[in-house]
Structure 1
Amino acid sequence: MKTNAPTILALLLLVVTATAFAVTQRLKLEPSPISRTRVDDVFSPVCHCPSKVANIEFSLRRADQLRVAIRTDSGEVTIAQGSFAQGDVHVRWDGRGANDELLPDGVYFPLVHLERVGRTIDLPNPIRIDTQRPTIRFTSLRPRAFTPGAVKLKATYVVSKHAHALLFVDGRRRVFTASKRLHGRLQWSGKVAGHPVRPGRHKVKLVAEDLAGNRSAPTPAVVVRVRRP
């Protein structure tokens, strides 16, 4: 009796498909070997600030031999490798590639290889390198003369990208806005630690700080006059 080659091939395909499906279902039912994942979504390796590295954190269900890597256009960059105990894992990436060069601005993908369980897990969110400094400018600053406690100095501004605005008076930061909008307004009472600043002329500047930690150049100084209360 002749063997029907197409029939055998079809049966083999069914077996392979069923096996793959069973493996997939088993993996779905098994608890993930890592949990409580937190990955910084944007950073600037050139900002000289706390966000100059990207933090990658997760909890390891069981001790394993790990390789934490970043997937780039040219391959994977290993940022941590070795035996890790059960519990919290925290690694940092400084934005450098395999040859220790700073990688260009763009989106990169963190992943974890687990040797014991034979799995590779893509972490939930990509990491974006952003080294472009924002720009900021005043659209208004009023009044140019005011009395602390009676009137507040009000500044409106526009930034080139989503960023916080910082108000500096005589070189010292006095206001930091939580807003990240492209335009906004901030106020200064003319007081420091609850006390009015000295009467007279003061130089006011704005600086923008984007979500990656890059800071703009300061605006040209605007002189305001603080009256005696």
Structure 2
Amino acid sequence: MGHHLRTALVLLLLAGTATAFVVTEDLKLEPDPIAQPRIDPVFSPVCRCEHQTSRIAFKLRREDRLTLSIADDQGRLVRTILRDARFGPGNHEFGWDGRNDRGEVVSEGTYRPRVALAALGRSIEFPRRIVVDTTPPEIAVTGVSRRVISPDGDGRSDSTMIRYRADEPVQALLLVNGRQEAKTRLRAEGAVLWSPRGRPRGLYNLTLSALDQAGNRGRPTASIAATIRYITVTSEAIRARSGRRFSIRISTDARRYSWRLGRRRGSARSRTLNLRAPRQPGRYPFVVELFGRRDSSVVVVLRR
């Protein structure tokens, strides 16, 4: 009798183990009820930009009632985004604005999104965390390659390079007279190139600002004065004695330029142009030209 009882117990245990194994294997084969999660990893709820909301998106395999919530790094609930809301199978996208249930912006830190499925009786915490970052980045200019630019396309002084360093990886934004003209990829230090080809000559104010991954924008740097110069006669009026030689200083980086004094014409390479004054006293227009860009002055010829 005892022998038969022990045999029956062993058979029952084996049957139970086999059943549990089958159930476990079925659970392993059961697809995850939520797939393809897509979560923005870092954002700033105060940036007033496209990054002021964190996207939480996923694919739901079966219809269910969802409760979507946000917990802090200690597991404490800070925000309920959805409560027992019914959704069908398919892709769904939600957003968290970085505020708690009282409408206050949460503290900087790491947060955990999780979803509860009522029909399945399961709660799933997404592996990807959300970082709330509300601190603006800081950026400083560490060097400027040149402050006088001649963007005439000859490959000489056509652009300037502004080097920078930031306190975190940022996009460096180049502002020219207050308007953004260039930006870099995310990095903590680097350089911004300004190539103002076709711009009129004159003085331009260059500043850098920084945009971090969360969307926070830092204060701009102090202004850098940059001058666009193609070719310039350094004096507005030049005095010379009739028939005598005189000099005119030309500011340019070009290898060659053309000049005109009254009816006389020529070309030169030197930054100091040596000419002979007309014999007839008077005022003579003097013009220099480079790639269609001109500057002019007046040569006043005096009697000997």
TM-score scaled by length of structure 1: 0.85
Among all aligned residue pairs of Structure 1 and Structure 2, give the percentage whose two residues are the same amino acid: 39
* Paired AA for residue 132 in structure 1: T
- CA RMSD for the aligned pairs? 2.2
Aligned AA (1:221): S
Query: Does the C-alpha gap of structure 1 residues 95 and 22 become closer, same or farther in structure 2, counting only changes over 3 Å?
Result: farther
**Whole-angstrom distance in 2 between the partners of 1:209 and 1:128:** 16
2:53 is equivalent to residue 47 of structure 1: no
2:234 is matched with none
The equivalent of 1:4 in structure 2 is: none
Which amino acid is the alignment partner of residue 207 of structure 2? Answer: K
1:92-134 Cα distance to aligned partner (Å, 9 max, x none): 0011112221110000000111111111111130000000110
> Once the 2 structures are TM-superposed, how far is the Cα of residue 205 of structure 1 from its aligned partner?
0.2
* Partners of 2:20 and 2:121 in 1: CA distance: 16
Q: Does 1:155 align with 2:159?
A: no
Higher relative contact order (CA 8 A, sep 6+): 1
1:182 maps to 188
Which amino acid in the other structure matches residue 152 of structure 1? Answer: S
User: Which protein shows a greater Rg?
Assistant: 2
Structure 1: which amino acid aligns with 2:187? R
Distance 1:17 1:106, change over 3 A: farther
- For 1:81-120, list aligned pairs within 5 A: 81=83, 82-120=85-123
Cα distance change on mapping 1:65 and 1:137 into 2, 3 Å = same
Map 1:174-213 to 2 at 5 A: 174-178=181-185, 180-191=186-197, 196-213=198-215
Aligned-pair CA distance for 1:27: 3.2
Deviation at 1:17, TM superposition (A): 10
- Please tell me whether residue 68 in structure 1 is matched to residue 68 in structure 2: yes
Q: Is the 8 A contact 1:37 1:124 kept in 2?
A: no
Alpha-carbon distance in 1 for matches of 2:20, 2:196:
69
Aligned in 2, Cα 1:19/1:70: closer, same or farther, shift over 3 Å? farther
Tell me the SS of whatever aligns to 2:144: strand
**CA 1:158 to 1:28, structure 2 compared with 1: closer, same or farther past 3 Å?**
same
Structure 2, unaligned stretches of length 5 or more? 1-15, 231-292, 294-304
**Deviation, structure 1 residue 34:** 1.2
Assess if the C-alpha contact under 8 Å between 2:163 and 2:190 holds in 1: yes
Aligned AA for 2:181?
R
Q: Which residue of 2 aligns with 1:35?
A: 35
